[in-house]
Amino acid sequence: GMPIQAEAVPRKLADPFDFGGGHIDPDRAVDPGLVYDVDAREYNKFFNCTLGYVDGCESYYLNLNLPSIAVPNLKDHVMLRRTVTNVGPVEAIYHLVVEAPAGIDVSVEPSVINFTQSGSKMATFMVTFTTRQRVQGGYTFGSLTWSNGSTHSVRIPIAVRTVIQDFVADTA
């Protein structure tokens, strides 16, 4: 019944960086409904970007199709994309529930994904983050959850940090 404490110095309340995106339910993991698929080529490009071997990586960091979203330097607004693959029933409709990080407006297009027998098993959605405050801040947290209203609920965590100037470091 008590808040989770992080094992840090000094002691602090734990946040999603400390305890992660949640826990796994092995029974439900067998039938996830949607997955955020990524292949070895994308990881290879990401690796080469982090080592500085490839130019033009600014947007690639945000658009790597991970089942989480981190925006470390939000000055005004940013748009990124994610793609989900339907591995559940062929006919499925998923509705989005957004839990926006504090001080951030989040919009997602589309907010409903409809998988049909004759359609694609993949759907791409665009996420736009807009800061409501011009402050140098710490990370705030939220989530995006795709739900089919019955058996499948697929949640990814969001972490966003607003910044005014690039050279001001977050020491919190």
Residue 171 has pLDDT above 60, yes or no: no
pLDDT digits (tens, 9 = 90+) for 8-58: 788 888 888 887 767 778 888 888 999 999 989 888 888 888 888 887 787
What 151-154 contacts at long range (C-beta under 8 Å, 24+ apart), as own/partner pairs, is 151/31, 151/33, 151/88, 152/31, 152/32, 152/33, 152/34, 152/88, 152/92, 152/94, 153/33, 154/32, 154/33, 154/34, 154/84, 154/94
User: What's this model's pTM, rounded to 2 decimal places?
Assistant: 0.87
**Percentage of the chain exceeding pLDDT 90:** 55
Question: What CATH number does the domain located at 33-162 have?
Answer: 2.60.40.2310
Per DSSP bridges, beta strands 153-162 and 69-74 are parallel
pLDDT digits (tens, 9 = 90+) for 77-91: 999 999 999 999 999
